[in-house]
Structure 1
Amino acid sequence: MQITKERDNINLFEEIIKKDPNSSRPYFKEITIEDREILNPYFDLVDYEACEYNFNTLYMWQHAYKTAYYVGDNFAVLVGEYDGEVFSILPLAKKEDLPKVIDFVLDYFAQIEEKLYFRGITEEVVDYLKEEYGDRFEYIAERDLFDYVYDGEIMRTLKGRKNSKKRNHINYFLTEYNGRFEYRLLGKEDFDDCRALLDEWTINKEENDNIEEGVDDERSGIEKLFTHYDQICDRLKIAGIYIDGKLEAFTMGELLNKNMALIHIEKANPEIRGLYPYINQQFLVHEFPEVEFVNREEDMGIEGLRKAKLSYHPCKLVEKYTVREAN
């Protein structure tokens, strides 16, 4: 029965993104790189701190979630498909326009004869929905999807007793590889080196029975950013560390808002002690020297990843909720 429901909803999602000139229902277009110039102004309208509210994030994962968008009167609505169900994330609109846009989303789900399903909703909007709609919705805190946010200056300096282990690892790296490494921004000419590092990183995960769910989707997303780097390099920064002429670590990030950096990707040779904390620190020192906060995204419920993210002592977590219309 569940399989049939999922198939029905997948067919429904295909109908949503199918342009029908005879239908009055809003048409949602699948996100492509060409939509960047259309959507970025709407992302710039908001100051959401969750990693989903960024064009490159959605574009990276579009193939996994089939993300599509609709632009209305001073707002944009984004929908996707997850586990066979259609969902929406928080609309992109000024705060004063959010009530009317949420009504638009409610109306839309009614048109497609589905109960409202929001993912990645912030606590502030949950409070608004509770106040306006009472018991109409149920709210589920998705701990595995909470983003980790850190104090930017502490991440750049690693000062304080609680960061002594990170400093020790970095000092070991600096001593062991003195004169043998180079940190620098990367360009298209370096992407083959990134691919080779990704191959080695994946093999290492497989050999240790620790391959992460979604690694293929992540690799596909990285390739999309490489392919269209000329179009996104005004915002996205990619940096790496070469040791003895070989790329051993690279990372990608950009500004999520004027006060927060967002780190999309960080990969390094795990056999080189201190390399992960060093590229983490140097990327912020060189490319984001002024940001107050750093968002390093979620842990997806992966135990090792959660431990690593907690080891940097986040100053806050960006709570995200699933909101469903009650039965």
Structure 2
Amino acid sequence: MILRTQDFEKYQAYLERYEVENSKIAFANLLAYEHFHGAKVYFEEEKMIILSTPSGKTPSIFPPLVPRTDLAGYLYAMKKYFRNEFNSPLFIRDCDEDFVARVNCLGIDYERIINRGQWEYIYRAEDIRNLSGRKLHKKKNRLNKFIGSHPSYYSRKIQKHDREKVLDFFDYWCKQKGCNRDDNLIFERESIIKLFELMDFLPISGIVTFVDEKIRGFSLGSYLRKDTFVVFVEKADLSKKYEGLYVALRRDTAKIAAPDCTFINLQQDLDIPGIRKSKLSWKPAKILVCDTLKI
């Protein structure tokens, strides 16, 4: 069935029970980024299957959230379903090492497709909030330099009435990047609008960051589980005079938008070298493998 906001509590219970770490199946992510996922969800007692059928892409499922003893039966059933419904092998997307090991134990033949650009970066929230220790010393220095140069800077929690100003800033940011005609950014803008709409129904949070009372950055995200906050969108002014602003934005997101979480998931790097270098520089506590299995 198509996911609805009223399914949130039911859906979250499965994520907590199976200790899901993959941000792509965060409830808000599936709704706001529907064009990337095309998700349909099937509930059955203590089991949940998420089918992904985005337009123009190969159908797949996320790793089934089922008891270990039931996994083999569900994989064989889904393999038959894919053959009959899509005339296709079964593709299971975003498989972590634990799930791959479980499939290995079942003796099922599969092909593993490495998707390094989809692996996710998970951080200890306290590391980002405090920028403590030698490993983040350079980040703290950049933050202090930014604050010293811009004493009017401050951040606050994002509100629904911020929508139009945030969208205006997003358009400005796209022009700075020279990519305002990028289809992916058009989709991202639509997703930002959807996230604001979902604020009335889901625990969407984020911040807006100001310098001289003008928005110079914002973030939006939601909780994957009670202990993990996922940042979906993170944009800051790229002007050289605001160097260090991204550090402030990330730190303030952890402090203001998600003050009670243990982990921050900053999602994938999409095989973009600059993004990968940046995310590695923040010293992740874990890089979550998200590969595809073809069965």
Q: TM (normalized to structure 1)?
A: 0.81
The 3 A distance-change label for structure 1 pair 290 and 185 is: closer
TM-score normalized by structure 2? 0.89
**In the alignment, which residue of structure 1 is the partner of 2:274?**
304
Describe the shift of the 1:213–1:155 C-alpha distance in structure 2 as closer, same or farther (beyond 3 A): farther
Question: Does the 8 Å contact 1:43/1:55 carry over to 2?
Answer: no
1:162-218 CA-partner distances (Å, limit 9, x unpaired): 32221111111211121x123111211111111011001111111xx6987722222
Alpha-carbon distance between aligned partners in 1 of 2:8 and 2:261, rounded to the nearest angstrom: 24
Report the aligned-residue RMSD: 2.3
Structure 1 letter corresponding to 2:131 = L
Partner of 1:220: 190
Partner of 1:62: 34
- Output one character per residue of 1:30-72: Cα deviation in whole Å (capped at 9) or x when no partner: 3354554553333333211111121111112212332222222
For 1:314, the aligned partner's letter is: P
CA-CA distance at 1:147 after TM superposition: 0.2
Tell me how far apart the structure 1 counterparts of residues 124 and 2 of structure 2 sit (CA, whole Å). Answer: 35
Q: Which runs of 5+ in 1 are unaligned?
A: 1-28
Q: Kindly state the Cα deviation for residue 93 of structure 1 after the two structures are TM-superposed.
A: 3.5
**1:60-114 Cα distance to aligned partner (Å, 9 max, x none):** 2212332222222332211123553211111234555544443442342243242
In structure 1, the residue matched to 2:265 is 295
Aligned to 2:148: 175
Q: Which residue of 2 aligns with 1:144?
A: 117
Equivalent residues of 2:205, 2:258 under 8 A apart: no
Match of 1:128 in 2: 102
Structure 1 residues 96 and 184: alpha-carbon distance in aligned structure 2, compared to 1, 3 A threshold? farther
Give, as a single letter, the amino acid of the residue that structure 2 aligns with 1:308: S
Instruction: Tell me, yes or no, if the aligned pair for 1:205 and 1:211 is still in contact at 8 Å.
Output: no
For the 8 Å contact 2:156–2:256, the answer to whether it is kept is no
Question: For residue 118 of structure 1, what is the aligned residue in structure 2?
Answer: 92
Deviation at 1:297, TM superposition (A): 0.3
Which residue of 1 is the match for residue 136 of structure 2? 163
Q: Is the 8 A contact 1:71 1:77 kept in 2?
A: yes
Partner AA of 2:95 in structure 1 = I
Instruction: Give the percent of matched residue pairs that are identical in Structure 1 and Structure 2.
Output: 25
When residues 139 and 187 of structure 1 are mapped into structure 2, their CA distance, relative to the original with a 3 A threshold, is same
Cα distance between partner residues in 1 of 2:259 and 2:197: 28
1:24-63 to 2 correspondence within 5 Å?
Answer: 29-33=1-5, 35-36=7-8, 39-63=11-35
- Indicate conservation of the 8 Å contact 2:146/2:244, yes or no: yes
Match of 2:226 in 1: 258
C-alpha distance 210-311 of structure 1, shift in aligned 2 (>3 A): farther
Counterpart pick for 1:248 among 213, 216, 228: 216
Q: Out of 214-223 and 297-306, give the one that drifted further.
A: 214-223
Where does the alignment leave 5 or more consecutive residues of structure 2 unmatched?
A: none
Corresponding residue of 1:7: none
Q: Distance in 2 between matches of 1:157 and 1:38?
A: 34
Higher Rg: 1
Letter of the 1:142 counterpart: N
Distance 1:151 1:55 in 2: 22
SS in 2 for 1:129: helix
Residue 64 of structure 2 corresponds to residue 91 of structure 1:
yes
Q: In 1, are the aligned partners of 2:115 and 2:292 still within 8 Å (CA)?
A: yes
What residue is the counterpart of 1:188 in the other structure?
A: 160
- In structure 2, relative to structure 1, the CA distance for the partners of 1:90 and 1:288 (3 Å cut) is same
Letter in structure 2 aligned against 1:59: L
Question: Aligned pairs, how many?
Answer: 291
**Match for residue 19 of structure 1?**
none
Q: Is the Cα–Cα contact under 8 Å of residues 26 and 223 in structure 2 kept in the other structure?
A: no
